[in-house]
Structure formats: C-alpha cells, structure tokens
C-alpha cells in the first residue's frame, strides 16, 4: 500500500470519514459573524475553574465530550487521541484529557497543530492502526496572553498587526466507516501535505501573520504541485490565522510562484471576528481558531455539498517567550489537509 505522493504529500488509500465534530468558543467569538454556527458559547471565561489554564483544559474536555455526544459514541470507542494546545508543556491538553484513560499523542505545532493532528489521525485510520480516533486542539485568550505576552491585568496596548487569541476548541472524530449510529458521513480526508519550518527572519512576535505566510505559501505550493492541481480544483483554500497582513503576503508570494488563489482563499483568523464592531486588529489566532471554524462553519459547507473539496492549512508561529527574548526569529509552519464531500 503506497500512500506517498510527490515531494511531501500523502494520498490516503482508505480516506478516513470525519464522522463527528464539535466547536465550543468564548463570549467574544460568540458575538462575531459566526455566532450562530458554534455548538456552544461559554460566557464564563474561566469555564467554572480558578485559572486560565484550567479553563482551557475544561474547554477542551467539554468539546471532546460534545463531539462524542453528537455522534452517539463514548470515549471507549476512541482508540487514540491526537491533541495539543499553545501552552508550555501542553498543559491544557494533559490536564484536560488525563481522566479519559485513552492513549494520547501530545502534539505541538503552535497554531498549525490542528493540521498536524488531522494528518496523523488520518494516517492512523488509513494505515489500519485504529478504527476511530479523535483529533482536537484548543486555545484560550487568557492563558495565551499570560503565556506569550502580558497578564491581562497589565492592560498593555497591542499594535495593529497583532492578532487576538481565540478562546475556542474544535474536536473531530475520524473513522474507517462512514456510519456511526444514525449518522452517515460524506466527508473524507483524502490527502495531506505535512509542512516544513520556514523562516523569513521575522522578529516581531506581534506580527505573526507575516511570520506564518511563507510557511503557508510553501505548503499550499507543494500541495498543488504534488496533487497536480490548480487553485480552482479547490472550492476553498483555507489558512488558519494569517490575519489581514499575512493574507496579503501569502497571496503575493503564491502569485510570484505562478498561482493566484485570491478567489479561493479564506482565512479563519480574518473571518472569526467582525473588524467593524470587534476591535481585534489583524484578526483571530490560536489553535482554537481554525479548529472551531472548521467544525462550526467549514464542515457545514462540505456537509451540505456547497463545497466539494477544500484545502485546510492551519498555520503556526514557532516562538516562545524565551526564544523571543533571546532575539530569535519567529519561524512558521503549516500543515495542509484535503477534505472532500463524497
């Protein structure tokens, strides 16, 4: 069984079915343009806990539980979990999922982790290593600001290139069968293009869109080449959280390589907030941005057949406060996943 395609892509021989999913977000996301699409909007930013980190753990756990509930499955049906978050040592994930008694692959790809998670989950199903797996990621505005910038109480100003970390989580159940209880899935993961780190020397941690755009460009370019496709072979090419500045750079970089994706491109970070009424500068970001948008909005467009084939490219900026303070650049990475309505 050869599932190798081109320079760095994978074509799944047994494309896994995406049989269930859920998205839970915070209050700010629940006031944005997609407010009616999310499964749940939680108004308590602490999710009933005492700290931002526990809040994010609770958010991830609730989203996982909801995806199962909607699909009529239990944790016992899930063989492996592929999950991650933005916090040091992945603590939102570890403490969120530790009581589930399921084998866990902890992942870190910054905001690209959703793409990494779906790729590894799909490989696990297509390779015959499991019947059902769960892929999930989360981010939380409070825990991320505390981790990467300043505690919220400090009330520092943010430059216009900065993005707003989404409080949100998306959970996805992949299966080797299209049926789960009363549900029949028509969405399959048919391919993937795992990305390499790309460093254009950006040193501004408040301009992550610029840092991630070259990585997104590289992954999309490789995907189009490896699958011998043109941009119009996709109904949408969707990046994670480039924001308005990153989008501009991505479109230009790809145009320089001979591809115009301006008609297909959509960025979850740009979409999730309303720039007129919600003061989020360059848009949303975080592991939870692309994950909550994929479940809430994007999969619904596939499920209804409005879109037939999309390329989902979560984008990550690989920095820590330590690397940043030591004067390192902000390298980017992006993992592409092909989802199709069949």
> H or E element: which one contains 192?
strand 187-193
Structure-token pair, residue 121:
């989950």
How many Cα atoms are found within 13 Å in the side-chain-facing hemisphere of 275? Answer: 10
Nearer to a copy of itself, 85 or 235 (CB): 85
Structure-token pair, residue 166:
């989404």
> Does 337 help bind a copy of itself (rule: CB under 8 A)?
no
- In SS3 terms, 266-298 reads as EEHHHHCCCCCCCCCCCCEECHHHHHHHHHHHH
Nearer to a copy of itself, 99 or 305 (CB): 99
Q: Environment class of residue 36 by beta-carbon count within 10 Å: exposed (0-12), middle (13-18) or buried (19+)?
A: exposed
> Does 89 help bind a copy of itself (rule: CB under 8 A)?
yes
Alpha-carbon span 119 to 311, nearest angstrom: 12
Instruction: Report, in Å, the least distance between residue 243 CB and a copy of itself.
Output: 20
Structure-token pair, residue 260:
């115009």
Within residues 101-120, the interface with a copy of itself by CB under 8 A covers 101-110, 116, 119-120
> Does 321 help bind a copy of itself (rule: CB under 8 A)?
yes
Binding track over 178-207 against a copy of itself, x by CB under 8 A: ----------------xxxx-x--------
Alpha-carbon span 224 to 228, nearest angstrom: 6
**Count of residues in contact with a copy of itself, rule CB under 8 A:** 63
Instruction: Report, in Å, the least distance between residue 291 CB and a copy of itself.
Output: 17
Nearer to a copy of itself, 104 or 266 (CB): 104
Figure out which of the listed residues 65, 100, 183, 206 binds a copy of itself, where binding follows CB under 8 A: 100
Alpha-carbon span 29 to 38, nearest angstrom: 9
3-state secondary structure of 271: helix
How many Cα atoms are found within 13 Å in the side-chain-facing hemisphere of 69? Answer: 9
Instruction: Report, in Å, the least distance between residue 133 CB and a copy of itself.
Output: 11
> Does 171 help bind a copy of itself (rule: CB under 8 A)?
no
Where does this chain bind a copy of itself (CB under 8 A)?
Answer: 1-4, 8, 10, 13, 50-51, 53-54, 79-80, 84, 86-91, 94-95, 97-110, 116, 119-120, 123-124, 126-131, 147, 194-197, 199, 318-323, 326, 328, 331, 333
């Amino acid at each position: 069984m050869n599932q190798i395609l081109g320079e760095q892509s994978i074509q799944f021989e047994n494309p896994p079915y995406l049989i269930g999913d859920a998205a839970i977000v915070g209050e700010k996301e629940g006031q944005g343009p997609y407010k009616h699409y999310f499964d749940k909007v939680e108004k308590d930013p602490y999710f009933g806990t005492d700290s931002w980190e526990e809040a994010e753990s609770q958010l991830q756990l609730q989203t996982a539980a909801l995806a199962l509930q909607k699909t009529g499955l239990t944790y016992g049906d899930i063989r492996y979990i592929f999950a991650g978050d933005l916090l040091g040592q992945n603590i939102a994930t570890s403490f969120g999922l530790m009581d589930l008694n399921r084998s866990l692959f902890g992942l870190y790809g910054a905001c690209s982790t959703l793409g990494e998670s779906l790729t590894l989950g799909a490989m696990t199903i297509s390779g015959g290593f499991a019947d059902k797996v769960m892929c999930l990621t989360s981010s939380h505005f409070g825990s991320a600001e505390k981790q990467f910038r300043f505690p919220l109480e400090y009330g520092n100003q943010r430059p216009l290139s900065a993005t707003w970390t989404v409080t949100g989580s998306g959970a996805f159940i992949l299966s080797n069968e299209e049926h789960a209880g009363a549900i029949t899935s028509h969405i399959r993961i048919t391919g993937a293009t795992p990305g390499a780190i790309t460093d254009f020397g950006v040193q501004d941690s408040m301009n992550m869109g610029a840092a991630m755009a070259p990585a997104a460009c590289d992954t999309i370019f490789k995907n189009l080449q490896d699958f011998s496709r043109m941009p119009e072979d996709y109904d949408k090419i969707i990046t994670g959280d480039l924001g308005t500045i990153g989008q501009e750079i991505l479109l230009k970089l790809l145009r320089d390589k001979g591809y115009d994706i301006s008609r297909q491109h959509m960025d979850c970070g740009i979409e999730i907030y309303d720039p007129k009424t919600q003061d989020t500068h360059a848009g949303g970001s975080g592991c939870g941005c692309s994950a909550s948008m994929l479940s809430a909005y994007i999969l619904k467009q596939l499920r209804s057949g409005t879109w037939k084939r999309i390329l989902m490219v979560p984008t990550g900026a690989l920095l820590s406060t330590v690397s940043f303070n030591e004067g390192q650049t902000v390298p980017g990475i992006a993992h592409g996943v092909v989802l199709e309505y069949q």
